[in-house]
């Protein structure tokens, strides 16, 4: 059993938009022997648009508070995040605190108001890094009892799980780890030129027309390449691709109906977990192509 400090992030809360990710990740961790120790009373990381309302110090104070709580509660154990934006914001904050003395000083002045302090030393890791680095491909493959044979999957890495930090040193322009994950479940990764294109991120909220065009191109590329489903590690990508399909169909005159899943859902199913374990009942666009493996 490996243990990590866990930061779920707002979208992974109960009844929140990435509840399917959260539930399947928890099932995946149970199957793999990972214990996730959630930080008690964590707060929002402010994702990627916190800069506008918060500027740098308030924005970073948010993540710093989470680190301070984590350190107090769990020591310097690696902190695992499942959301791309959380992982990025936390990792960036930690980096700035560790390398910029002014930031460190100011942040700690602010933290002191909440009776906390933090001077770095917690490593922030993405869940996929844990799978690849701490378990490895052989271990992931060894768990497969129900290979997803014949399932054609477009591996959509998106932006923030890829840039600016990258996963396990993989390429920014053509990362392959997600395709490898797909293949590890016995499914087929189809060629997918849009795998690192931007889905529009939070711009979907404020300027959906611009974002929908981006999302449409991604969906189209997956369909053109024969994918049955799209798989992603990122909750923002998942949400934009799945929930806006209807809007794209009406406004951009398309006819998409392609399920958008998390890598964790594929793992759970191929490792013998149930439909429920994999949170596949929580898909807005039903994951029909996976039904035959349930």
Question: Quick one: 147 or 208, whose CB is closer to other proteins?
Answer: 208
Sign of CA dihedral 67, 70, 72, 78: negative
Under rule CB under 8 A, residue 206 binds other proteins: yes
Tell me the site size for other proteins, rule CB under 8 A: 66
Name the segment binding other proteins (CB under 8 A); options: 126-134, 177-185, 192-200, 269-277. Answer: 192-200
| CB half-sphere exposure, 153, CA atoms < 13 A | 29
Name the segment binding other proteins (CB under 8 A); options: 14-22, 73-81, 133-141, 256-264. Answer: 14-22
In the complex, minimum distance from the CB of residue 186 to other proteins, in angstroms, rounded to a whole number? 26
- Residue 176's region, left for phi above 0, alpha for psi from -120 to 50, else beta, is alpha
Question: Quick one: 107 or 130, whose CB is closer to other proteins?
Answer: 107
Under rule CB under 8 A, residue 197 binds other proteins: yes
**The sheet that has 188-189: what strands, in order across it?**
188-189, 152-155, 229-232, 260-262
Under rule CB under 8 A, residue 247 binds other proteins: yes
Under rule CB under 8 A, residue 13 binds other proteins: yes
Name the segment binding other proteins (CB under 8 A); options: 28-36, 58-66, 142-150, 226-234. Answer: 58-66
From 3, 100, 133, 207, residue interacting with other proteins (rule: CB under 8 A): 207
CB under 8 Å to 120, separation ≥6 — which residues? 94, 97, 98, 104
Give the β-pairing of 229-232 and 124-126: unpaired
Sign of CA dihedral 49, 4, 18, 21: positive
Nearest C-alpha neighbor of 215 from the set 193, 190, 237, 232: 237
Rounded-to-integer distance, Cα 277 and Cα 291, Å? 14
From 244, 262, 267, 293, residue interacting with other proteins (rule: CB under 8 A): 244
From 6, 7, 27, 65, residue interacting with other proteins (rule: CB under 8 A): 65
Eight-class DSSP state of 130 = I
Query: Which chain residues interact with other proteins by CB under 8 A?
Result: 10-11, 13, 15-20, 41-44, 46, 48-58, 60-62, 65, 106-107, 109-116, 159-160, 162-164, 172, 197-198, 200-203, 205-207, 210-211, 214, 243-244, 246-247, 281-285
């Amino acid at each position: 059993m490996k243990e990590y400090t866990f930061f779920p992030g707002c979208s992974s809360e109960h009844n929140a938009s990435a509840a399917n990710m959260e539930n399947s990740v928890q099932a995946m961790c149970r199957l793999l022997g990972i214990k996730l120790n959630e930080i008690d009373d964590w707060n929002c990381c402010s994702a990627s648009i916190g800069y506008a309302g918060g500027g740098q110090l308030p924005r970073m104070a948010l993540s710093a508070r989470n680190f301070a709580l984590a350190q107090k509660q769990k020591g310097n154990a690696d902190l695992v995040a499942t959301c791309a934006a959380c992982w990025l914001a936390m990792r960036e904050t930690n980096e700035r605190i560790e390398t910029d003395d002014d930031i460190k000083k100011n942040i700690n002045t602010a933290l002191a108001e909440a009776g906390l302090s933090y001077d770095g030393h917690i490593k922030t890791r993405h869940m996929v890094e844990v799978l690849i680095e701490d378990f490895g491909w052989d271990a992931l493959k060894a768990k497969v009892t129900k290979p997803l044979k014949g399932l054609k999957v477009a591996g959509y890495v998106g932006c923030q799980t890829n840039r600016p930090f990258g996963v396990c040193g993989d390429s920014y322009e053509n990362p392959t780890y997600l395709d490898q994950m797909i293949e590890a479940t016995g499914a087929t990764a189809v060629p997918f030129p849009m795998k690192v294109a931007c889905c529009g991120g939070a711009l979907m909220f404020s300027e959906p027309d611009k974002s929908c065009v981006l999302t449409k191109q991604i969906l189209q590329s997956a369909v053109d390449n024969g994918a049955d489903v799209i798989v992603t590690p990122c909750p923002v990508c998942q949400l934009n691709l799945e929930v806006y399909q209807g809007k794209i169909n009406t406004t951009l005159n398309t006819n998409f109906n392609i399920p958008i899943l998390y890598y964790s859902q594929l793992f759970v199913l191929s490792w013998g977990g149930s439909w429920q374990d994999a949170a596949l009942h929580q898909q807005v666009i039903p994951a029909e192509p996976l039904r035959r493996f349930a």
